[in-house]
Structure 1
Amino acid sequence: MRRKFLSKGFSVLLILSLVLALFSGCSNKTNENASDKEENDKPKATADAPGWESNKDPITFDWYVNFSWYAHKWGDDVVSKYVTDKTGVSVNFISPAGNEAEKMNTMIASGKLPDFITIGWWEDAVKKMIEGELVLPLNELADQYDPYFYKVADGAKIEWYKQEDGNTYGYPNASSSPKDFDKYKDLKPSNQTFLVRKDMYEAIGSPDMTTPEGFLKALEEAKKKFPEVNGAPLIPFGMNEFTDVGNTSLEGYLQNFLAIPMEKDGKVYDRSQDPEYLRWLKVFREANDKGLLAKDIFIDKRPQMEEKISQGRYFAMLYQRSDLAAQQHALYAKDPESIYIAVDGPANSKGDAPTLAGDSISGWTVTLISKDVKDKERAIQFLTYLISEEGQKDLYMGKEGETYDVVNGKPEFKPEVLDLLNKDRAAFDQQYGASYKYWMLMDTNMNLQWLPPASEPFKQMEDWTKGKTVSFAEFDGISPTGTSAEGVAASKIAQEWGKTLPKLLLAKSDKEFDKIFADFLKKRESFGYDKVAKYQQEYYELNKSKLDAAK
């Protein structure tokens, strides 16, 4: 009897199991069909339609910006809110608290990166990320998820950044193809300027500062006449911050003002050994000897510099004009005579006009997508949106009716918006976030169609650079990076130069200067400079052929 009951019970259980399995299968099939239907109903990304329009579900990407001074947040201003409402994408910006190279190396060593990475194109970390397979090819992402990318991306830039494996991993900002450079160089000239504080400069007689004698005398007279600025010591001369690999103001900027050639007779020229350059480095050594180089310039980072610029504490600077916009606004609001103006700066012994760098095809930074990105499809679609004309207009002009109106068919900032932009850039950024507050993928050619006319206190600085701007695109990226023998040698040389440059300025005599520089050259040779020079020549010739093909 018990065996019969168990047998009957087992049969019931078996039947129940089969029924449940049947229903479960039907349910799964139904879910699969619903999922398939939902996927089929979803608009497909094509070469004729932006992929981001197919999915606007909320998503937040972590975006690493490799500049310690970048401190903006997403979601607090009109532009970022508008972009999120339109695309569904929010951004969590991350920037290093200290040394940028150390932070990048730490992340690379960990094998994990944030979703997006924006970094100077010249940085060694770019090659490390690519060689370590830590970032994804943009072309493969576009092929798979958003072919519309090819409709809005600049083919010349894709080709320029194509690697040996045939893939392109980064897309640049502030980039100009050779055709664009020739077309726009007078509309958006060089950012490199020699600046003086207007009231102080005029008070000492607006002297000629193009010669070593005139330069030193002007610094002396400014310090004598204006020993303090609002109770703080005057800083006679300012420049970019010193890093572990040198100082851009005392390298490329100074060499460009001295019109030192990048090549001679088809061979890459070692500008660092040019007599005119060494002559002017010794001028700065003499300036330090005379007490005209404040200790601040050797230790200050960008935040400290920006604070001192806003206080008008520098008399003269070899600096990029766009990076003191907010401070120039503040000075202009307090006293229009206390602003900085561009004047003729250090020149070579022949008095040649400077050859200042304009936008090149390499641009300023490149943006890459991590292999660990949380959603590959949404990432390439968002990048495509940002580089498109629609995205560029949103980032530059903002939201129609709120930050701009269309007047006679052309977008124009509202009067109150433009007024704030011209008076208080920091407040403008905080409230509106337009005019490329989010510059990671800015197209500085495309935005010319929306650009308001230059006004003071910026017009004078911009106008001064016109006619002095040249392209150095064929020399972009010719210095080796990464873990190759050439890359390691170049890294060691750069680090050694970073130690040497301050020592040259702090030398007690020209004789000591010469010894320090000679020692650097010996170390440079021992590190493998011959390999670096050979690499530079090869890539210079390769760049020339690539640029010729892009014309």
Structure 2
Amino acid sequence: LNSMIASNTLPDLVTLGWWEPQVKQMIESGLVYSLTELADQYDPYFYEVADEAKLGWYREDDGQSYAYPNSSYSPSDYDKYPVMSNQTFLVKKDIYEAIGSPDMRTPEGFVAALKKAKEKFPMVNGQPLIPLGTTEFSDIGSDSFKGYLQNHLAIPFEKDGKIYDRDTDPDYIMWLKTFRQANEDGLIAKDIFIDKRAQMEEKVAQGRYFAMMVQNWDYQGQQKSLYQQDPNSVYIAVPGPANTNLDNPTLAGQGIAGWTVTLISKNTKNPERAIKFLSYMISEEGQHDIYFGKEGVMWETVNGKDTYLPDIYELKQKDNDAFEKQYGGMSTHWMFQDNAMFSKWEPPLEEPLKQPQEWTKPYVTYFGQYDDADPIPTSEEGIGVTKINNKWGQVLPQLILAKTEAEFDEVFKDYIAYRDQQGWDKIQQFRQNKYKINKEKLGLK
């Protein structure tokens, strides 16, 4: 992509993560069209199908919107459609019930449950039990021990209208110390620090984890496999780590920024056709075609409701990879997918995917106003954010593996001092200002 930008050889449409610096670069270099200017010139229908909140979110200082997101939820979508979160605390059903379905919301109960599971089930299918599974560790740490944990603890982004330092919240530190204690007790397997996604998927399929703080949707294939072998061997969502008050979690649903954004390059020979194509794809008609495909081949109407043909639906349930390769429905062509609108057509969830997803419903919280709040990576503050994130990637394993609580305190103290050296106060002020702008864009207080 960098080479195409440098040589001005971009294709007609460009889709990439909204956080990628090339998005800003293409806009500021004049390499992409303003979608709103194209709509004004060629396609007023665009304004009928585009979400104004999403256009507003991606509106630049010149008043124009150059990018349109997929997988984006505006605040109004939370009112119109059922919304669930992927952030779950999962336990292996058979093991959890065998040890008495313990309350794992407190540090004491959490560690006791891990210990009991390991004692009662030291081996699973001839392999050692892994008491706790997490997301992959990368250069910047693990989501399980950062945003996911903080959301389970209902730690706010702001207090009394001012940005709140979630990383120094007393409950958060208490739980990081709990994981350190779990490691001292032999309950944290070294696998979690080195395993990549492929290894983790394999171990989930083998049922080797007792508990996991992950995105449950990441393992739907493995869940189905376990369910087919034994419905009681699947992973279910239960209340996990909680704050001192045992408040309910505040689990993140999709935000306004979405996943990727699509831009129209000025290299396109037919900008009118490009904007009309985009309008069609984001319209309800286009979304229906993305989701269902061709009528009679992939779907039919039954009792007034559009639904996949039985053999198509069966393939989707049994082998999603084969479904996508053969038919390409649902989320296969994701560059314009509107997950909120998709929910109008989705069949009722079935086990084993139903319980973990529906468990999150009461706890879903809109955090879209806090999306895209970091400074650009090349700015002074942005460079500071990068250094702090990379430092956290080094510090997190040190905290969990610390031999004593005193060693933990020293490591954490040094990390906070490092943050300050990288301009933490300026970074937080930037985020505070961005929160204010974001709330104004979304019409939130």
Q: Please, what TM-score do these two structures have when normalized by structure 1?
A: 0.75
Counterpart for residue 501 of structure 1: 396
Give the deviation of 1:271 after TM superposition: 0.2
Give the one of 172, 175, 190 matched to 1:277.
172
Which segment drifts farther, 333-342 or 499-508?
499-508
Q: Is the 8 A contact 1:392 1:443 kept in 2?
A: yes
> What secondary structure, in the 3-state scheme, does the structure 1 residue paired with 2:352 have?
coil
Q: Distance in 2 between matches of 1:328 and 1:449?
A: 24
The amino acid of 1:456's aligned partner reads E
**Alignment pair present for 1:476 and 2:368:** no
1:137 Cα offset (Å): 3.2
Counterpart CA distance in 2 for 1:376 and 1:295 is 53
Structure 1 residue 315: Cα displacement: 1.4
**Is the CA contact (8 Å cut-off) linking 2:315 and 2:322 kept in structure 1?**
yes
- Which of residues 72, 75, 79 in structure 2 aligns to 1:182? 79
Taking the TM superposition and a 5 Å limit, the aligned residue runs for 1:98-117 are 116-117=13-14
Match of 1:451 among 346, 359, 369: 346
SS of alignment partner, residue 449 of structure 1: coil
2:54 corresponds to 1:169: no
One-letter amino acid of the structure 1 residue matched with residue 36 of structure 2:
N
Output one character per residue of 1:309-364: Cα deviation in whole Å (capped at 9) or x when no partner: 22222211111122212221121122211111100010011111111112222223
Query: Structure 2 counterpart of 1:196, which letter?
Result: V
Aligned to 2:46: 149
8 Å CA contact 2:103, 2:109 repeated in 1: yes
Indicate the residue corresponding to 1:46 in structure 2: none
Matched, 1:396 2:300: no
Query: What is the Cα deviation at residue 163 of structure 1?
Result: 1.6
Residue-by-residue CA offset, 1:147-167 (whole Å, 9 max, x unaligned): 443332112100111122323
Q: Kindly state the Cα deviation for residue 458 of structure 1 after the two structures are TM-superposed.
A: 1.5
For 2:18, the aligned partner's letter is: W
Q: Indicate conservation of the 8 Å contact 1:125/1:482, yes or no.
A: no
1:504 and 1:209 map into 2 onto residues whose CA distance is 21
Give yes or no for contact 1:261–1:271 (8 Å, CA) kept in 2: yes
CA 1:527–1:398: 2 relative to 1, 3 Å: same
Which among 211, 226, 237 is matched to residue 342 of structure 1?
A: 237
Matched to 1:121, the amino acid is: W
Rounded to whole Å, the distance in 2 between the matches of 1:373 and 1:307 is: 44
User: Does residue 281 of structure 2 align to residue 386 of structure 1?
Assistant: yes
Match of 1:364 among 249, 254, 259: 259
Match of residue 225 from structure 1: 120
Higher relative contact order (CA 8 A, sep 6+): 2
- How far, CA to CA, are the matches of 1:231 and 1:369 in structure 2? 54
Q: Structure 1: how far apart are the matches of 2:187 and 2:370?
A: 34
**Matching residue within 288, 293, 316 for 1:421:** 316
Q: Deviations over 1:211-260 (max 9, x none)?
A: 11111122122223333333333222112212222222211111111011
CA contact (8 A) 2:53 2:441 kept: no
Please list, as runs of the form range in 1=range in 2, the aligned pairs for 1:51-450 lying within 5 A after superposition.
116-133=13-30, 135-143=32-40, 146-184=43-81, 187-370=82-265, 376=271, 379-450=274-345
Task: Say what the alpha-carbon RMSD is for the aligned residues.
Answer: 2.5
Could you tell me how far 1:500 is from its partner in structure 2? Answer: 1.8
Letter in 2 for 1:167: Q
Change beyond 3 A, Cα 1:519–1:433: same
- State the Cα deviation string for residues 140-199 of structure 1 (Å, max 9, x = none): 444455544333211210011112232323222222222221333xx2222211111111
Structure number with greater Rg is 1
- Secondary structure at the aligned position of 1:440 is classed as helix
Decide whether the 8 Å contact of 1:326 with 1:426 is kept in 2: no
Does the aligned pair in 1 maintain the 2:260–2:335 contact within 8 Å? Answer: yes
Q: Distance in 2 between matches of 1:536 and 1:338?
A: 44
Against the structure 1 CA distance between its residues 107 and 334, is the aligned structure 2 distance closer, same or farther, given a 3 Å change threshold? farther
Q: Deviations over 1:516-549 (max 9, x none)?
A: 1111111111111121111111111112222227
CA distance in 2, matches of 1:199, 1:506: 29
Change (3 A) 1:129 1:206: farther
How far the C-alpha of 1:206 sits from its partner, in A, is 1.2
1:394 deviates by: 1.6
Aligned length: 445
**Identical residues among aligned pairs (%):** 58
Confirm or deny that 1:527 pairs with 2:422: yes
Shift, 1:440, TM fit:
2.8
Q: Return the alpha-carbon distance in structure 2 between the equivalents of residues 141 and 228 of structure 1.
A: 62
Whichever residue aligns with residue 332 of structure 2, its letter is K
Aligned to 1:19: none
| Partner Cα distance (2:392, 2:7) in 1 | 29
CA–CA distance in 2 between the matches of 1:372 and 1:513?
55
C-alpha distance in structure 1 between counterparts of 2:428 and 2:14, whole Å: 30
Secondary structure at 2:89 match in 1: strand
